[in-house]
C-alpha cells in the first residue's frame, strides 16, 4: 500500500489551496486500491503542523484497505442493480413483443418495386445511419425496420419499438427517455426509457410525425449527441443507439406548416426508404394471399388448400387503400368463413374501391391524406361510428384505437350530429 504524509504548501491543486486557506497545516493521504484498481483517495487534515507520524500513516493505510473494499462493493452493487433493472425492463418488453402478432415473418413478393426496397435495405443495414421509412398505412414499415436490424451488426441486441401516435403526448417523453421516482404525479418508481433499453441496439419509432413539437428538440439532441436526461434528473445519460423512424405523414408538409422542426427532419432523412403501396406492386398480391391463407389456415386448423383463380383476379384488381394490412385482415376473415378446401372470399366486397375515385386515377386526383380520410370515413359509417371492439372501425382498419383517434384528429374527422 502506497501512503505518505503531505506537504500541503507544495500541493498546487485548487482544492488543496482551499484546504490550506481554511487553516489546515498538515495532512495524511492514502490511495483506495482494490484489485489493482484505484477507486479514490482517503485523506486526513490537521490544524497542527507535522501532526501525523509514520504510525498514523500505517494505521490510515489499514483503514484505507477496508474503505476501498467497501467502496468497491458499493460500486458493484450499484452496477448490478442498474443491470438488473435494465434486464427486468427488457424482459418485460420482450414478453410484450412475444405476445404480439406480426403481419408476416419474412418479406413476401418478387415485384421490381419490392426488389428495389430489398436492395436499399441491404445497402443501409451494414451502416449505423438513421433510416426514415415512408409509406402509407399498412405497407409494412415495421417489417422493413426489422429486416434492416436483422442484417445489421447490432442484430444480437434488441430492436426496441415505440408507436409515437399510440402514446398520449404527456407521457411520450417519459416513454422515450424514462423518469425518476417522483418526477411527476404517478411516478412511484424509476422507469427506464426506450432509448436506454435500446443501448447498443436499435430503436424503431413508428409514426414519428406525431411527436409533439415541444419534444422534438430533445429527440434531435439525442440523435446528434447520443445523450439525454431522464425526467426529474440532472444526470446526463450516454447511449449508443441506431434510430429507424417511420411515418405515413408528409414530413415536408408538416415542416412547411411549422408542425415539425426542419433540423429534426433533416436529421431523420439521412437514408429515406419509400415503400410503395400494394396497388403499385399488384404482382405480389397472389403470393401474399397464398401466404396469409396458409398462415391462418394452419393456425385455425382448417384444410384450405387452394384459392380460386377468379378470387386471385379480384384481389389483384382491388385498390387496397389499407394495403397489406387490409389484405391480411380480409384473408383472415375469409379463412374463418371458409368450410371447404377452397378459400371463400366475399367478392362483392372487392368490387368498389374504398375511395370514391377509380383506382387508376386515385394517385392523380387525390393525395394520400384525402384518400386516407375518405377510407376512414367510409369505415366509420359502415361501423356506425363504433371505433373500438372486434366490430369497430379500428379493428377493420387494422389499427389500435388510440392510433385511429389520433388519425381522426389529424385529418379533422368528427362524428356528425
Q: Contact, 369 vs 407, CB < 8 A?
A: no
**Are residues 45 and 139 part of one domain?**
no
- For 379, the domain range is 366-417
Instruction: Provide mean pLDDT across the span 53-68.
Output: 82
Do 286 and 298 lie in one domain? The reply is yes
Q: Can you give the pLDDT at residue 365?
A: 46
Supply the angle between the helices 285-300 and 309-317 in degrees, to the nearest 10: 120
Q: Please indicate, yes or no, whether residues 311 and 201 belong to a single structural domain of this protein.
A: no
Q: Are residues 238 and 115 in the same domain?
A: yes
Over pLDDT 90: what percentage of the chain?
37
Last residue of one domain, picked from the residues 217, 239, 274? 274
The strand pair at 159-163 and 202-206 is best described as: parallel
Q: Is residue 196 part of a domain?
A: yes
Q: Is-contact 318 353, C-beta < 8 A?
A: yes
Do 254 and 155 share a structural domain?
yes
Q: Answer whether residue 417 shows pLDDT above 70.
A: no
Cα 276 from Cα 171, distance rounded (Å): 32
State the total domains in the chain: 4
Residues 308-349: tens digit of each pLDDT: 988 988 998 888 988 999 999 999 999 999 988 999 998 877
**Helix (H) or strand (E) segment spanning residue 388:** none
Q: How far is CA 329 from CA 74, 322, 361, in A?
A: 54, 10, 25
Domain boundary among 48, 73, 98: 73
Specify whether 308 is located in the same domain as 399: no
Q: Is residue 205 a contact partner of residue 244, using CB atoms and an 8 Å limit?
A: yes
Q: Are residues 15 and 147 in the same domain?
A: no
pLDDT for position 101: 38
Does residue 266 share a domain with residue 149? yes
Q: What is the pLDDT of residues 385-413, one digit of tens each?
A: 888 877 788 878 877 787 888 788 878 78
Whether residue 400 is found in the same domain as residue 263: no
- CA nearest neighbour of 104 among 380, 303, 332, 315: 332
- Give per-residue pLDDT as tens, 62-118: 888 888 888 878 777 777 766 666 655 555 555 444 444 333 356 888 888 898 999
The reported pLDDT for the residue numbered 79 is 73
| Coil, strand or helix at 243 | strand
pLDDT tens across 347-371, in order? 877 764 443 333 433 444 455 667 7
Check which CATH number belongs to the domain holding 297 and give it.
1.10.8.60
Give the C-alpha distances (Å, rounded to integers) separating 290 from 100, 167, 227: 22, 35, 46
**Mean pLDDT value across the chain:** 81
What's the confidence (pLDDT) of residue 355? 37
pLDDT in tens, 185-234: 666 677 888 999 999 999 999 999 999 999 999 999 999 999 998 888 88
Do residue 262 and residue 311 come from a single domain? Answer: no
- pLDDT at site 64: 80
On whether the CB atoms of residues 247 and 136 are closer than 8 A, the answer is no
Amino acid at each position: 500500500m502506497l501512503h505518505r504524509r503531505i506537504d500541503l504548501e507544495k500541493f498546487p491543486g485548487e482544492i488543496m489551496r482551499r484546504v490550506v486557506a481554511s487553516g489546515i497545516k498538515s495532512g495524511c493521504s492514502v490511495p483506495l486500491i482494490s484489485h489493482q484498481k484505484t477507486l479514490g483517495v482517503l485523506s486526513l487534515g490537521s490544524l497542527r503542523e507535522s501532526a501525523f507520524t509514520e504510525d498514523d500513516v500505517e494505521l490510515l493505510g489499514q483503514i484505507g484497505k477496508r474503505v476501498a473494499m467497501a467502496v468497491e462493493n458499493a460500486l458493484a452493487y450499484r452496477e448490478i442493480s442498474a443491470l438488473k433493472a435494465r434486464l427486468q425492463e427488457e424482459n418485460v418488453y420482450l414478453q410484450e413483443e412475444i405476445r404480439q402478432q406480426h403481419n408476416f415473418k419474412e418479406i413476401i413478393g418478387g415485384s421490381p418495386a419490392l426488389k428495389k426496397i430489398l436492395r436499399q435495405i441491404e445497402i443501409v443495414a451494414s451502416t449505423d445511419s438513421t433510416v426514415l421509412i415512408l409509406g402509407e398505412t399498412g405497407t409494412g414499415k415495421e417489417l422493413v425496420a426489422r429486416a434492416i436490424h436483422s442484417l445489421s451488426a447490432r442484430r444480437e441486441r434488441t430492436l426496441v419499438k415505440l408507436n409515437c401516435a399510440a402514446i398520449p403526448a404527456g407521457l411520450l417523453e417519459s416513454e422515450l427517455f424514462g423518469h425518476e421516482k417522483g418526477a411527476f404525479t404517478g411516478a412511484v418508481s424509476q422507469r427506464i426509457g426506450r432509448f436506454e433499453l435500446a443501448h447498443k441496439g436499435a430503436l424503431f419509432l413508428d409514426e414519428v410525425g406525431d411527436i409533439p413539437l415541444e419534444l422534438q428538440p430533445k429527440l434531435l439532441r439525442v440523435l446528434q449527441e447520443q445523450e439525454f436526461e431522464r425526467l426529474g434528473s440532472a444526470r446526463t445519460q450516454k447511449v449508443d443507439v441506431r434510430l429507424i423512424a417511420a411515418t405515413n405523414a408528409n414530413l415536408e408538409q408538416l415542416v412547411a406548416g411549422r408542425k415539425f422542426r426542419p433540423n429534426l427532419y433533416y436529421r431523420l432523412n439521412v437514408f429515406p426508404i419509400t415503400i410503395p403501396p400494394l396497388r403499385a406492386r399488384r404482382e405480389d398480391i397472389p403470393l401474399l394471399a397464398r401466404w396469409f391463407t396458409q398462415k391462418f389456415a394452419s393456425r385455425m386448423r382448417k384444410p384450405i388448400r387452394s384459392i380460386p383463380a377468379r378470387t386471385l383476379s379480384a384481389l389483384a384488381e382491388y385498390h387496397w387503400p389499407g394495403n397489406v394490412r387490409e389484405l391480411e385482415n380480409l384473408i383472415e376473415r375469409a379463412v374463418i368463413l371458409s368450410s371447404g378446401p377452397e378459400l371463400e372470399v366475399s367478392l362483392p366486397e372487392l368490387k368498389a374501391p374504398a375511395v370514391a375515385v377509380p383506382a387508376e386515377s386515385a394517385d392523380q386526383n387525390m393525395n394520400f391524406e384525402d384518400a386516407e380520410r375518405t377510407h376512414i370515413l367510409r369505415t366509420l359509417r359502415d361501423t356506425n361510428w363504433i371505433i373500438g371492439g372486434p366490430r369497430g372501425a379500428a379493428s377493420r382498419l387494422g389499427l389500435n384505437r388510440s392510433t385511429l383517434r389520433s388519425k381522426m384528429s389529424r385529418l379533422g374527422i368528427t362524428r356528425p350530429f
